[in-house]
Amino acid sequence: VISKLPQTGTNIFTTMSALAAEHDAINLSQGFPDYFCSPELIELVNSAMMAGHNQYAPMAGLPALREQIAIKTEMLYGAVYNPDTEITVTAGATQAVFTAISAVIHPNDEVIMFEPAYDCYAPAVKLMGGVVKSLELEPPDYRIPWDMVKRLITNKTRMIILNSPHNPTATILSKQDIDELTALVKNQDILILSDEVYEHLVFDGQEHLSMARYPELRDRSLIIASFGKTFHATGWKMGYCLAPANLMQEFRKIHQFLVFSVNTPMQHALAEYLKNEDHYLTLPGFFQQKRDHFRQGLEQTRFKLLPCAGAYFQSVTYDAITDEKDVDFAVRLTKEIGVAAIPVSAFYRKGLDRHVLRFCFAKKQETLDIAVDRLLKV
Ligand code: PMP
Ligand code: GLN
């Protein structure tokens, strides 16, 4: 067969997690918790199954769950989304991203994105015949140069992809970014795909600036969320998309043929679990404690910390240690020191290497402590 994605190999998360397992290393590479998700949530899934909720859910998702998502979105962002027409439950954020891009990108449409970027955006754009126009952002602050974004816009620009809080850089969009973005898209036929899977992981008392908060942006945005990320259960692959009805109508046309509907008992459980807002309002504190503990540990090492405003990733540079390429150093750290990280060059399509490694701190404190002990030897 002629490959549709000839450049695509095994992704870096799979590669590093496998290497970590092979060498019995502490795995701070792929982003997932090493602790138990809520037993209450598991019990709710169990109860839903035992109550007989084991057949197809409605295509757009269980009404009770969409209702709870609407309540949460209004409470957090002051935005009213109609559960019937503007919310769809998906099999994780990855499926939602792919569905959103397939629903609106036509051949030769241009899509602006920023690198480093999570790996699932560009392939979806390419598969639809779209053209990725990306800007490479630089450490330490990875600021978006909006004047350069403006220069990238043509009459073929169809979408801008944003991700805040950001994987892998842990940056968040500021109000100034929002203002620049709003000015940029005004009177333009440009959609926004906003990957907000880390919406609850914003630190130091800052607020998550969801596209949902701003009517001019919200009207053109497909917003993606992930219950796997939010509720420490990445293996569940549950998420959702918010979009205005005209966009959601197109989204659902793809969704119904891609998966039709998603896991029924988990939707029942999540609908119930979301009723207690503490389940998500406590998350910034929970993760900030891990972030601070991990950063304090890393400060004793020869790694240099980059800022971390959100998400559960801490990046470091290592110029005081070696001039190896980030991929080589990540492999050596895993094999020789027993700590696995993600080399951030993997998030740039051209492999830009600024000697940055990303550690995931969604781990038990003891795991982070062992990792720091080992990193002290580097
Ligand atoms: N977007 C970003 C930025 C992510 O880091 C991840 C996840 N791991 C996803 C999307 C995918 O989320 P899910 O596991 O719900 O598909
Ligand atoms: N989002 C996770 C990360 O960035 C990994 C998800 C995956 O393995 N595809 O590490």
As a whole number, mean pLDDT of residues 364-370 equals 98
Same domain, 79 and 95: yes
What's the chain's average pLDDT?
A: 97
CB 217 within 8 A of CB 182: yes
d(CA 29, CA 20): 8
Q: Is the pLDDT of residue 126 over 90?
A: yes
Same domain, 43 and 139: yes
As a whole number, mean pLDDT of residues 329-343 equals 98
Q: Give the model confidence (pLDDT) of 165-190 as tens digits.
A: 999 999 999 999 999 999 999 999 99
d(CA 61, CA 63): 6
CA distances for 357 relative to 56, 343, 364, angstroms: 42, 5, 20
CB 232 within 8 A of CB 37: yes
7 band by pLDDT with thresholds 50, 70 and 90: confident
167 lines ligand 2 (CB under 6 A): yes
Predicted local confidence at residue 372, as pLDDT: 98
d(CA 194, CA 224): 6
Q: What share of residues in the chain are helix, strand, coil (percent, to 5)?
A: 45, 15, 40
18 lines ligand 2 (CB under 6 A): no
Q: How far is ligand 2, taken at its centre, from the CA of residue 213, in Å?
A: 27
Report the predicted TM-score, pTM, of the whole model to 2 decimal places.
0.98
Domain boundary among 278, 299, 328: 278
Q: Is the pLDDT of residue 43 over 90?
A: yes
Q: How far is ligand 1, taken at its centre, from the CA of residue 237, in Å?
A: 9
Q: Which helix (H) or strand (E) holds 150?
A: helix 146-152
Domain boundary among 228, 246, 278: 278
Same domain, 255 and 316: no
As a whole number, mean pLDDT of residues 357-366 equals 98
348 lines ligand 2 (CB under 6 A): no
Q: Which residue from 347, 369, 361, 339 is spatially nearest to 232, judged by alpha carbons?
A: 361
Residue-number span of the structural domain to which 328 is assigned: 12-30+282-375
CATH number at residue 213: 3.40.640.10
Q: Which ligand is nearest to the CA of 360?
A: 2
Predicted local confidence at residue 70, as pLDDT: 98
Predicted local confidence at residue 168, as pLDDT: 98
**Per the domain annotation, does 7 fall within a domain?**
no
Residue 112 CA, distance from chain mean position = 17
Q: Give the closest residue (by CA) to ligand 2 atom 4.
A: 31
Same domain, 24 and 101: no
Q: What residue ranges line ligand 1, CB within 6 angstroms?
A: 31, 92-94, 118, 163, 167, 195, 197, 226, 228, 234, 237, 239
122 band by pLDDT with thresholds 50, 70 and 90: very high
Give strand pairing partners of 18: none
**Torsion sign, CA atoms 219, 203, 74, 45:** positive
Q: Which residue from 185, 178, 259, 245 is spatially nearest to 211, judged by alpha carbons?
A: 178
